[in-house]
């Protein structure tokens, strides 16, 4: 999974290797010199308001996480009987995802790379939540399934817990003794 950092999906600049809006690359050749000019990056209209925070919630006594992007999802996870804490100390932002209704805008500004975006959702399996990329279950938004698609560059990995059936999604948990060395799916 590639979900972008707290400060937003990395779409501020158009990647020349993707089909994006903006001027074309030009090449000038003389008898002795070849010069390739890549246009200055263009600013994308995809702003944070078109994204939503992908948050985790934690139950420290059971060592279990759940993941939500909006208040209705929080109501669903709270009704499952596990009791996730909503306080700042037991929750946080994993990253951002493109809002469900903004995938069209993303497809316009980055038509090739956006084909690599998938509809991230989570399903409860036993006492933990597992992701899927087909949008079934508790939806989180659209995320890049391929590193670099529309310049998404923050890979989120799935980590198995050493002490419970928990699965956690984060960039790097090697410093956390609960998850260190237990990245799944090859990272």
Ordered by start, the domain boundaries in the chain are: 39-157
Q: How confident is the model at residue 50, as a pLDDT? A: 75
Q: List the one residue out of 150, 155, 149, 145 whose CA is nearest residue 45.
A: 150
Taking only the tens place, the pLDDT of each residue in 71-117 is 888 888 889 888 999 888 899 988 878 888 889 999 999 999 999 88
Taking only the tens place, the pLDDT of each residue in 117-173 is 888 888 888 888 888 888 888 888 888 878 888 888 777 788 999 999 999 988 889
pLDDT band at 1 (very low <50, low <70, confident <90, very high): very low
């Amino acid at each position: 999974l590639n979900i972008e950092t707290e400060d937003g999906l990395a779409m501020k600049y158009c990647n020349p290797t993707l089909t994006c809006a903006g001027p074309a690359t030009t090449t000038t050749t003389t008898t002795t010199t070849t010069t390739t000019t890549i246009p200055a990056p263009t600013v994308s209209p995809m702003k944070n308001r078109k994204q939503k925070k992908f948050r985790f919630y934690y139950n420290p006594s059971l060592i279990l996480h759940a993941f939500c992007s909006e208040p209705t999802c929080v109501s669903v996870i709270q009704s499952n009987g596990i009791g996730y804490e909503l306080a700042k100390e037991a929750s946080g932002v994993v990253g951002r995802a493109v809002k469900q209704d903004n995938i069209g805008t993303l497809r316009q500004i980055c038509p090739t790379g956006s084909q690599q975006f998938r509809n991230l959702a989570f399903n409860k399996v036993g006492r933990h939540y597992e992701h899927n990329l087909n949008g079934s279950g508790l939806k989180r938004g659209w995320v890049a399934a391929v590193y670099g698609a529309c310049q998404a560059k923050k890979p989120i990995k799935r980590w198995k817990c050493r002490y419970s059936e928990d699965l956690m999604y984060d960039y790097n948990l090697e410093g956390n003794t609960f998850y260190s060395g237990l990245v799944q799916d090859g990272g």
